Structure 1
Amino acid sequence: MERVEVCVRDGKLVGIVEKGIYGGRYVAFRGIPYAKPPIGELRFKDPVPPEPWSGSRDASKYGNVAVQIDIIQKSEIIGDEDCLYLNVFTTDIKSSEKRPVMVWIHGGGFYIGSGDSTFYGPDYIVEKDIVLVTLNYRLGVLGFLNLYDKVATGNQGLKDVILALHWVQENISEFGGDSENVTIFGESAGGAIVHYLTLSQLSEGLFHKAISQSGTVTCPWAFTDPESYSTNKGFLLAKKLGKVTEDPKDVYEFLKTIDAKKLVETEKFLVTEEERRQFLVIFTPTLDHESSNPVFPEDLTTLIHRGVKVPYLLGFTSCEGSFLLKSNFIGCISKEALNRVDSDFKLAIHPRVLNTLPKISTTLCQLRSLYFGDKNISEETVANYINLISDTYFLRGIMQAVDIQMNNDNSGKTYLYQFSYESETSFMKKISNVDFPGVSHGEELGYLFYADIIKELGLSVPVPDSEDYKMINRLTQMWTDFAKTGNPTPAITDLTPIKWIPLKREAVYDYLDIHIEPRMKTLHKGKQRWDWENMNNISYDYSVYKI
């Protein structure tokens, strides 16, 4: 087994040479600590840099994942509080020219996921002359508890990612990476974290380009207001575990004593049936004004409207919502649940979206009519419901971020996409068991990363010359070209046959439809399915209309 040594700020690392899934070789350094273990007195606190080590540290294996519910064995709690590790991959550690760096921030609703190769193996991306970094951050209550008091100010998971980016700045040149050309990219909650980092002063100068896939700060699930719940979920968690108090310091001291796995196990019982139907995420980023070092020193609206200043690439899949209604991960919606939504339509809308609607009862009637006509919400109209879910939870928020970019003079160039390449052999569709046409939430990930779970499930990778293989090549080419140059299509080639035009300040959205034959397309402002503010201008047949 060939080993490779590198000296970073905190000590010596011994990585390992691996064979890529399509041949070729890359060097892997796994399980590198970028922070002290956030345990004991550091639980619920900002991360701090790690202690240096003496001698050589084995970097051949991944570090612990954050404590979470196992996505496959749903009843099992896995992981460890000591989870703040990152991984670095490259095909050439001694490259004569410094290579662009891409830092991947995983999704998972802020409560599941990790940066390891279960889903995010480096094999495809490193072939494009990129240094790839993947990482873990704290999840759930351990990563996002906010008691609105200086004892626990929230956003611990966001600060983990920021500290990892500081590590990249200080150490990545030892791996042949260019600290002055760093792109952060992520999907779902990871896409929202990317967007958050573009807005926060704490991460200024730590990266130079950004990619948000199927998730932005403006998506309703990505942020929690203090008013979102009648009772702070941290206090509720303490109560469930036996501590009833209104003093945040008491809650903090109590929760610090509870076993981490017990905390996460109890967390899932904090959601009411109604909240579950509205896909509420309990612990997410929040305003952290009580912190001496806040991620958000101002209100979020002000920050969002300043726009993203670096080159920004963002988009969505063609059928985001099927993942929430027709998959193994969330569960297929039952006939009973559909009946409940039919009799109480507001259950179909996220509370944060509900709060923004004028004349709620009138608007709900209009929305129901818009998506379902005069039909009931039932198994026969699940397609309509999926359209509504796609718009509510993803497209409205993503397009709000797009609008801000288009209306902001200081914004970096912004590229919009829709991923609509649908494949029978999509492994993401297989493992989530989505039985609905269109490209579901997260399906593009299978073309950016090689997932170890493919082997575990007895599936095979796409064969060279197949359409799936071509999509792997195309997507990784565009993403890495954007990381290298700030332009996803700097040259017209067989892989990138179309020039991807950035958004302009006009009444139309130019976007790339990513398919086996990619095409630039145009959407007209005020006439799209998600433009609820302009409902009178929309005249589509919503039972069949697809983007």
Structure 2
Amino acid sequence: MNKVEVCVTEGKLIGIVEESIHGDHFIAFRGIPYAKPPVGELRFKDPVPPEPWSGNRDASKYGKIAVQVDIFTQEVIGDEDCLYLNVFTTDTKPLKKRAVMVWIHGGGFFMGSGNASFYGPDHIIRKDVVLVTLNYRLGVLGFLNLYHRMATGNQGLKDVVMALQWIKRNISQFSGDPDNVTIFGESAGGDIVHCLTISPLAKGLFHKAISQSGVMTNPWGITERDTCINNGLRIAEKLGKATSDTKVAYKFLKEIDARKLRKAEIELFLTKARRLNLSIAFTPTVDSESSNPFFPIEPLKLLHNGIKMPVIFGYNSSEGNFFLRGKFFGDISEETLKEIDSDFKKVIHPKILRQLPEIPITISELRALYFGDKAVSEETIMNYSDFLGDQCFYKGIIEAIDIQMSSGANEPIYLYKFSYESKTSPMKNILNIQLPGTAHFEELGYLFYPYLMKDLGLSPAAPDSKDYKIINCLTQMWTDFAKTGNPTPANKDSISVKWTPLINGNAYDYLNINIKPQMETLYKTEQRWDWQMRRKL
């Protein structure tokens, strides 16, 4: 097995040459520490640069992942020592530097990793870019904000900033161009990407951004001060320390075993009630108490200043399906549907609930928009899926675009809808998503090769299949955008249409990504999620 040596600022790495599922080869450098382990006194603190090492460091295996609950076994896995990244390239000494793509995984800020279980590099690496995947701290360990200097929040976001700083210093050793870096992520990862585009801490570390099915203007994208403090105090109470003093809670939580801490968090906050409205306990916050804040002021104020780089926003055609049928949240029962039918308030996100009087729209009017006079039941489950998609994804993504377009930032904004539907969809099969349409998370099975397919006995896409065509189309557009800032710089066999950027906020021109991608137009006033307008009709 061929090995490849690379020297980074901290020491020498020994990577490994591997064969991809397509039969070509790439070089993998895995488990590279980009920060000191955030343990002991560093728990809840900003990341610290890694220590150098002497001699050779084996970079053939993935590093430990963040502490979390495994969605398949429901067991607590991972380690507090989790700040590792992985670099994939085809050549460490090319004639020219390659565009760099940095993947930020999703998982609701409480689960996931940059490993190949879901995010194998095989598809993207064929397109002549350098790919980086990474881990960051999750849940209470990554986002606890008690609003004093001992626990200021956004540790997970600052982890990603430190990874980007490491990339800026070292990526040229892997044939990457530190002056042409694109960050991309999905769901919580898309939210993190959106956050990074406006944070003063991340300025100059990347040059283009892709937010897939997640932005900070989604109701779950940012947590308010009182909610975050209360969530921290509730975990302390569950673990045996009932207090209203945040300093006392901090000292207590700092000493608890990391696995016990995350397990208590999951038991307390990943409840049935929260699953119904997709509310998340620990997400990005204003961290003005920090000496080095990620968000020194309200993120929306920063957002109105504009994103100063090309950006792609997008979503899948049936986002809500993911949360109703499958291994991630489990199948929603007939009994639960009856509960929702008797009290529709249960499925409205708390932040949305507070906004209803301002729209203005009542809970009964909102329900009628989606269900008419029908009951919430198995028969109308796609109506429920539509509602979840609208309140938790589509509405906020268009709001993010509106803010960017009104900011005066003269940078191209691209919008897509991924609507390709396939019985052999990797993510649909891995997660057993059973409803029609293209669910949240589903496009990732065509951007990446999920190695879980091997474990489950699922075959990769055949070269003559429609799935293979979508893989080629999606990876071509994403990597062209990374290289040039334009996802369709020239007509290619895999892409027969020119993807044009948005021009104004009345009609939203977007690329409908299907087996034959085509430009279409969305009119906000015709969308069901424009609740104020729909209420008037």
| TM-score, reference length from structure 2 | 0.98
1:61 aligns with 2:61: yes
For 1:236, the aligned partner's letter is R
**2:381 match:** 382
**1:9 match:** 9
Give, in whole Å, the separation in 2 of the partners of 1:145 and 1:133.
26
Give, in whole Å, the separation in 2 of the partners of 1:457 and 1:169.
37
Residue by residue over 1:164-188, the C-alpha shift from the partner in whole angstroms, topping out at 9 and shown as x without a partner, is 0000000000111000000000000
Deviation at 1:324, TM superposition (A): 1.0
**2:45 match:** 45
Give, in whole Å, the separation in 2 of the partners of 1:70 and 1:238.
23
Deviation at 1:123, TM superposition (A): 0.7
**1:348 match:** 347
Give, in whole Å, the separation in 1 of the partners of 2:207 and 2:307.
11
Note if contact 2:13-2:57 (Cα within 8 Å) is conserved in structure 1.
yes
Deviation at 1:533, TM superposition (A): 2.0
For 2:523, the aligned partner's letter is H
Alignment of 1:116-127 (within 5 A): 116-127=115-126
Give, in whole Å, the separation in 2 of the partners of 1:459 and 1:65.
25
Residue by residue over 1:435-485, the C-alpha shift from the partner in whole angstroms, topping out at 9 and shown as x without a partner, is 111000011001111111010000010011211111111100000000000
3-state SS of paired residue (2:389) = helix
1:266 aligns with 2:264: yes
For 2:164, the aligned partner's letter is L
For 1:424, the aligned partner's letter is K
Note if contact 2:361-2:531 (Cα within 8 Å) is conserved in structure 1.
no
Give, in whole Å, the separation in 1 of the partners of 2:440 and 2:338.
25
Could you tell me which runs of 5 or more consecutive residues in structure 2 were left unpaired when the two chains were aligned. Answer: none
**2:394 match:** 395
Give, in whole Å, the separation in 2 of the partners of 1:332 and 1:306.
42
Alignment of 1:483-522 (within 5 A): 483-522=482-521
Give, in whole Å, the separation in 1 of the partners of 2:372 and 2:219.
25
3-state SS of paired residue (1:222) = coil
For 1:363, the aligned partner's letter is T
Note if contact 2:27-2:88 (Cα within 8 Å) is conserved in structure 1.
yes
**2:243 match:** 245
Note if contact 2:72-2:327 (Cα within 8 Å) is conserved in structure 1.
no
For 2:200, the aligned partner's letter is Q
Residue by residue over 1:215-239, the C-alpha shift from the partner in whole angstroms, topping out at 9 and shown as x without a partner, is 001111121112447x611111111
Give, in whole Å, the separation in 1 of the partners of 2:11 and 2:358.
61
Alignment of 1:145-184 (within 5 A): 145-184=144-183
3-state SS of paired residue (2:133) = strand
Alignment of 1:57-136 (within 5 A): 57-74=57-74, 76-136=75-135
Give, in whole Å, the separation in 2 of the partners of 1:254 and 1:411.
48
**2:280 match:** 281
Deviation at 1:359, TM superposition (A): 6.1
3-state SS of paired residue (1:186) = strand
Note if contact 2:359-2:532 (Cα within 8 Å) is conserved in structure 1.
no
Residue by residue over 1:142-178, the C-alpha shift from the partner in whole angstroms, topping out at 9 and shown as x without a partner, is 1111111111011000000000000000000011100
Give, in whole Å, the separation in 1 of the partners of 2:529 and 2:466.
31
Note if contact 2:361-2:535 (Cα within 8 Å) is conserved in structure 1.
no
Alignment of 1:157-236 (within 5 A): 157-228=156-227, 232-236=230-234
Deviation at 1:361, TM superposition (A): 8.9
Residue by residue over 1:110-137, the C-alpha shift from the partner in whole angstroms, topping out at 9 and shown as x without a partner, is 0100001111111111110100000000
**1:542 match:** none
Give, in whole Å, the separation in 2 of the partners of 1:275 and 1:465.
43
Note if contact 1:233-1:270 (Cα within 8 Å) is conserved in structure 2.
no
For 2:161, the aligned partner's letter is I
Q: CA RMSD in A?
A: 1.3
Note if contact 1:13-1:57 (Cα within 8 Å) is conserved in structure 2.
yes
Q: 1:341 to 1:135 in 2, by over 3 A?
A: same
**1:404 match:** 403
Note if contact 1:527-1:537 (Cα within 8 Å) is conserved in structure 2.
no
Percentage of identical aligned residues: 61
Note if contact 1:405-1:411 (Cα within 8 Å) is conserved in structure 2.
no
More displaced 10-residue stretch of structure 1: 333-342 or 132-141: 333-342
Note if contact 2:365-2:535 (Cα within 8 Å) is conserved in structure 1.
no
3-state SS of paired residue (1:87) = strand
Note if contact 1:228-1:352 (Cα within 8 Å) is conserved in structure 2.
no
Note if contact 2:361-2:532 (Cα within 8 Å) is conserved in structure 1.
no
Give, in whole Å, the separation in 2 of the partners of 1:207 and 1:193.
13
Deviation at 1:302, TM superposition (A): 0.6
For 2:154, the aligned partner's letter is N
Deviation at 1:408, TM superposition (A): 2.5
**1:339 match:** 338
**2:306 match:** 307
Give, in whole Å, the separation in 2 of the partners of 1:493 and 1:128.
13
Note if contact 1:407-1:505 (Cα within 8 Å) is conserved in structure 2.
no
More displaced 10-residue stretch of structure 1: 220-229 or 383-392: 220-229
**1:544 match:** none
For 2:234, the aligned partner's letter is L
Give, in whole Å, the separation in 1 of the partners of 2:369 and 2:215.
25
Deviation at 1:519, TM superposition (A): 0.5
Give, in whole Å, the separation in 1 of the partners of 2:128 and 2:46.
34
Residue by residue over 1:357-413, the C-alpha shift from the partner in whole angstroms, topping out at 9 and shown as x without a partner, is 226895222211111111111111111111111101110111111111222321420
Give, in whole Å, the separation in 2 of the partners of 1:255 and 1:314.
37
Note if contact 2:105-2:114 (Cα within 8 Å) is conserved in structure 1.
yes
Q: 1:305 to 1:533 in 2, by over 3 A?
A: farther
**1:34 match:** 34
Note if contact 2:63-2:84 (Cα within 8 Å) is conserved in structure 1.
yes
For 2:86, the aligned partner's letter is N
Note if contact 1:354-1:360 (Cα within 8 Å) is conserved in structure 2.
no
Q: 1:377 to 1:172 in 2, by over 3 A?
A: same
Give, in whole Å, the separation in 1 of the partners of 2:183 and 2:149.
29
Note if contact 1:342-1:376 (Cα within 8 Å) is conserved in structure 2.
yes
Deviation at 1:72, TM superposition (A): 1.5
Deviation at 1:537, TM superposition (A): 5.5
3-state SS of paired residue (1:434) = coil
3-state SS of paired residue (1:321) = helix
Note if contact 2:277-2:388 (Cα within 8 Å) is conserved in structure 1.
no
More displaced 10-residue stretch of structure 1: 357-366 or 248-257: 357-366
Deviation at 1:356, TM superposition (A): 1.4
**2:422 match:** 423
| TM-score, reference length from structure 1 | 0.96
